[in-house]
Chain A
Amino acid sequence: MTTATQRAGDTGSPYAFSHLDALESEAVHIFREVAGEFERPVILFSGGKDSIVMLHLALKAFSPAPVPFGLLHVDTGHNFPEVIAYRDRTVEQHGLRLHVASVQDYIDDGRLRERPDGTRNPLQTVPLLDAINEGRYDAVFGGGRRDEEKARAKERVFSLRDEFGAWDPRRQRPELWQLYNGRHAPGEHVRVFPLSNWTELDVWQYIAREGVELPEIYYAHERDVFSRSGMWLTAGEWGGPKDDEPVQRRLIRYRTVGDMSCTGAVDSDAATIEQVIAEIAASRLTERGATRADDKLSEAAMEDRKREGYF
C-alpha cells in the first residue's frame, strides 16, 4: 500500500504542501464553514497576534469580497494604547464593523467590581457574554490555540456554549474529519477556533511569510516596567506600580498582548521578525508561562474560566 503513495509535503513531489499551507487551508475552511452555516458570526479581535492572524486569514478566505463578519473587542480599559491604535487603524483600513464591549463601563456603573489585585482578565467574561447576547451573535471566532494551555488542548474547533456561555468539557460533541456541527438552540452560541492546531511558532512563521503588520510592542523596545509576581509589568495609570515596586527601564518585548495588569513583558532584543522567531524557537518557556499572571493561580485556572464563558 505504501509503495503507491507519494510524499506530498516532503520535498520532491509536484503537489508539495508545507505544514503552514496545511494550517492555512484548514483555517480558511473553518471560516468558510461558519460563513455558510451561521447567521451572525463575529470575530473576537483584541489586536493581539492571534486575532490579527485570524483576521488576515478571513480576508484571504473571502477575497476579493470583503469579510462577511464584524469584529468584537472586549476592552478591559487597561489595554496597551499601541494596540488600540492598531485596532482602529485596521478597522479603518479594511472597512470593518467594530463592536466594543467595555469593562470600564461595567466598573463605572457598578455592574462589575474591581478585584483587589487589579487584574481585569477575569472581568471580561460578563461584558463578553452580554455583547454576544446584544449582538445576537451565533458564532464567535476566537484566536485560542490548543498549544497554549492544557484545557484549551481539549477543546473542539466548534465549541458549543449554553445560554450562560458555559463550556462543559464532559459534554463535547464528537468532531470527525472536517465535519463541524454548528447546530445550536436559540440563546446558545458556538465558539469557533480556526487556529486550534497552530503553535506559537507557526503563528510567527506565518506572520513572517505573509508579511503581516503587528503592533510595535511585539518587538524589542525600551519601557518603564516593574516586577510583580515574577513578571515585568508596564508602569502606567492602570494601577501599577505600588510604593514598594521600583520602576526600571528595560529592553523588552511582549510575547502576548492582553490586559496590562496581567500581561508580562519578556527581556528581549529581538527587533525584527527573524529575531523574534529565533528567540521563540530557542525559548525554554511557554508563551503563557512567560507572560501571564492569571494562569499561575491554580492547576485548572483556565478550565474554570472557560466553564464560566471565558474566551
Chain B
Amino acid sequence: MTETLTDTLDVSATSLLRFATAGSVDDGKSTLVGRLLHDSKSVLADQLEAVEAASLRRGQDAPDLALLTDGLRAEREQGITIDVAYRYFATPRRRFILADTPGHVQYTRNMVTGASTAELAVVLVDARNGVVEQTRRHAAVAALLRVPHVVLAVNKMDLVEYAEPVFAAIAEEFTAYAASLGVPEITAIPISALAGDNVVTPSAHMDWYGGPTILEHLETVPVGTDPAHDPARFPVQYVIRPQTAEHHDYRGYAGRIASGVLRVGDPVTVLPSGATSTIAAIDALGERVDAAWAPQSVTVLLADDVDLSRGDLIAPTAAAPVPTQDVEATVCHLHERPLRVGERVLLKHGTRTVKAIVKRLPYRINLTEGLAHEDEPERLDVNDIGAVVLRTAEPLPLDAYADSRLTGSFVLIDPADGSTLTAGMTGEPFAAPATKAEQAAADDEGWDF
C-alpha cells in the first residue's frame, strides 16, 4: 500500500465504517471478503502464501480467497464459515471493520453478532439460485437490527454469462422484499467475487451496469448519525472517586455516550430514580471539555450530590425516557434452549442487569412465508424471531430501538449458567414499509444504470 502511504498517515481525517456480509451458505461471502482484501492490497505476502499453500493441500489449483477469513480448523475442513471473522482494511478514504458472517441457518446467532454493530450489510445472492429462504432470513435480520444501509450483491455473475436480465430480476425481487421489511433503499451491484468483477475494479463483462463497485460504494456511503439530532443518553458504567488528597472531592460518572450531545450546564435527570441536577464538568479522558458527543467515552461531573451508581442513565431533563417495568420487544432467540412463557431470566440493558419474567410470547414471525405471524406460540426456538412481553423487577429507561440502537436494545441471560439467550429490540420489528412513491424514488437512486 505504498501508494497510499501519505494518506494513511493522516489519521485525523479518516472515518470508520463497520460492515457485515450476509446471505445464504455458499453464496460467496467469504470469497467476496477475500477478494476485497486482496484487490485493495490489504493481504500481505505471508498471508497470501499461507492461503496458497492451504488451497494446494486441499487440491485446489487457484488460491481459495475464502481461507483468508475461514480461520478455524472446522471451517477449513468443511469449507463453510461457522463464526464471524473480523477483518480490517483501509483505503485512503476510509478505515473498515468487516464482519464476515456465516450463511448456514444453524449459525444465525453468529450472523446476528456481526450485524448488530454494522452500519452497512452486503447481502449476497447466488445469481443462479436467486433469492432463497436464507437470503430472506438474513435480510430480515438486517432490517430488524436496523442496519442503516443494505447492499445487494448479485454474485457469481460469471456463471450466468454476465446477463443483465438475471441481475435485474433478482434485484427487483429483493428490493420489493426489502421494502416490505421497511428497508428504504437498496443498492444493487452485479459482481463475481471469484473473478473480481465490480468488487474493487469495474467489470469488463458488464458494460450494461454503470453503478459503483462494491468498494466505491463502501468508501462513499455516509457513515454515522448526526449526534445533534438525537437526545443525549449516558449509561453510567462506573463511579470514579480517587479519594486522594489532590482530588479529594472528585466524584465522576464514567460512561460512553450512547447517543446525542452532552454540554456543561445541561439540566439532566438520573433514571430510574428521577433525581435531577446539571452537568458541572465533562472530562474527556483527562481533558476538560465543554461538550462531548456519541460515541465518546467521558466522565461526567454533576453539580449536586445525587445518589447515582453503575446502571443508572443520565439523560437531558427535557427529553428523558420514561422508565417502565413492562417491556414489549422484538427478539431474536439465540440459544438451543427454547424461550417459554413464565421463564425467569436476567435482562441486560445498557449497564444495568435486572431480573425479568417472560409474560407473553405474542407471536413468532415466519420469515419464509411472507412474514406471516404465528400467534401465541408455545415457545421460541433457536434463530426464531418473534415478539416478547417481559416484566422486569426494576424499572428500565428504554428507548424504542428504532430511535436508538444502543439504548433500545438488550440481551436476555440465563441466570443459572450465564448463557446469552436472546437479543431484544424494544418496539415493533420492522419500519413501516416504504410507500410506493418513496420506493420508486429509492429505486431510482439505487439503480444507477
Binding site for B on A (CB under 8 A): 1-2, 4-11, 13-15, 17-26, 28-29, 32-33, 35-36, 60-66, 146-147, 149-151, 153-154, 156, 160, 169-170, 172-179, 181, 183-185, 196-197, 199, 201, 205, 209, 277-278, 281-286, 289-290, 299-300, 303
Contacts and interface: CB of A to CB of B under 8 A. Distances in A.
Nearest to A188: B418
A281 B9 contact: yes
A23 B261 CA distance: 19
B319 interface: no
Nearest to B2: A282
Nearest to B7: A281
A176 B116 contact: yes
Given A178-B256, A303-B73, A184 B418 contact: yes
A173 B412 CA distance: 12
Contact of A150 (B69, B116, B184): B69
B86 A196 contact: yes
Nearest to B184: A1
Contacts of B116: 176-177
B154 interface: no
Given A36-B237, A179-B348, A281-B8, A6 B295 contact: no
Given A25-B297, A284-B45, A7 B5 contact: no
B242 A65 contact: yes
Contact of B223 (A7, A169, A181, A199): A7
Given A5-B226, A199-B88, A176 B423 contact: yes
A6 B285 contact: no
Contacts of A150: 68-69, 71-72, 85
B189 to A, nearest CB: 17
Contacts of A303: 71-73
Given A13-B226, A36-B237, A300-B73, 6 more contacts: A9-B224, A63-B283, A172-B83, A176-B409, A177-B117, A183-B417
B29 to A, nearest CB: 15
A121 B83 CA distance: 27
Nearest to A153: B85
A181 B227 contact: no
B339 interface: no
B237 A2 contact: no
A34 B226 CA distance: 29
Contacts of B9: 205, 277-278, 281
A11 to B, nearest CB: 5
Interface in B1-34: 1-2, 5, 8-9, 11-16
B71 A174 contact: no
B44 A284 contact: yes
B59 to A, nearest CB: 15
Interface in B278-293: 283, 285-286, 293
A179 B409 contact: yes
Contacts of A26: 295, 297
B227 A8 contact: yes
Contacts of A175: 113, 420
Interface string B42-82: 00111100100010000000000000110111101000001
B422 to A, nearest CB: 9
Contacts of B334: 174
B351 interface: yes
Contact of A147 (B88, B109, B283, B418): B88
Contact of A62 (B14, B149, B254, B255): B254
B293 A15 contact: yes
Nearest to A284: B45
Contact of A286 (B46, B112, B296): B46
A272 B376 CA distance: 66
B297 A24 contact: yes
Nearest to A197: B97
Given A25-B296, A196-B86, A290-B46, A154 B109 contact: no
B420 A174 contact: yes
A28 B46 contact: no
Contact of B11 (A19, A183, A196): A19
Contacts of B221: 2
B1 A281 contact: yes
B369 interface: no
Main secondary structure on B side of the interface with A: mixed
Contacts, number: 244
A278 B86 CA distance: 24
A10 B71 contact: no
A61 B297 contact: yes
B419 interface: yes
Looking at B237, B242, B334, B406, the one whose CB has the most chain A CB atoms below 10 A away is B237
A95 to B, nearest CB: 11
Contacts of A33: 237, 351
Interface in B149-186: 149, 184-185
26 contacts: A1-B185, A2-B185, A5-B224, A6-B224, A7-B224, A9-B224, A18-B11, A22-B295, A24-B285, A36-B237, A150-B71, A153-B69, A153-B85, A153-B86, A172-B83, A174-B113, A174-B420, A281-B9, A284-B44, A284-B45, A285-B46, A286-B46, A289-B45, A299-B50, A299-B73, A299-B76
A146 B86 contact: yes
Interface string B223-241: 1111111000000011011
A201 B240 contact: no
B436 interface: no
Given A22-B295, A63-B286, A177 B73 contact: no
Given A150-B69, A176-B112, A183-B418, A2 B222 contact: yes
B222 A5 contact: yes
B44 A285 contact: yes
Contacts of A35: 237-238
Given A1-B185, A184-B418, A197-B97, A15 B227 contact: yes
B246 A64 contact: yes
A70 B243 CA distance: 18
CB-CB nearest 9 A-B residue pairs:
A150-B71, A183-B418, A289-B46, A9-B15, A8-B224, A6-B226, A65-B242, A28-B297, A176-B116
A282 B250 contact: no
B413 A183 contact: yes
B336 to A, nearest CB: 11
B15 A18 contact: yes
Nearest to A147: B88
B109 A29 contact: no
Contacts of A24: 285, 297
A18 B224 CA distance: 11
Contacts of B85: 150, 153-154
B238 A181 contact: no
A297 B260 CA distance: 49
A284 B224 CA distance: 32
